[in-house]
Amino acid sequence: MYKGETAVNTSMRQSQFDILNRLYEMKCKQIEHALQQGKSLRSQVLEAEAQAISNAIKSVR
């Protein structure tokens, strides 16, 4: 692996992290909204999605 490739990989990982982090934040807002509306099943589904995003964030780090 050459220096430029390492920089590209680092940049791609940062981009992936940024995107996943934004998705996670949006998902958390959706969970709050669902809970406020009393939609328990919807919030459970959203929580599972948030967990999957969280796991993806951990794998990118």
Tell me the per-residue pLDDT of 5-23, one tens digit each, with 9 for 90 and over: 888 898 999 999 999 999 9
Contact indicator for 43, 35 with CB cutoff of 8 Å: yes
Q: Distance between CA atoms of 9 and 5, rounded to whole angstroms?
A: 6
Rounded Cα gap, residues 13 and 19, in angstroms: 10
pLDDT in tens, 32-58: 999 999 999 999 999 999 999 999 999
DSSP code at position 38: T
Mean pLDDT of 21-29: 98
- Look up the pTM and report it: 0.85
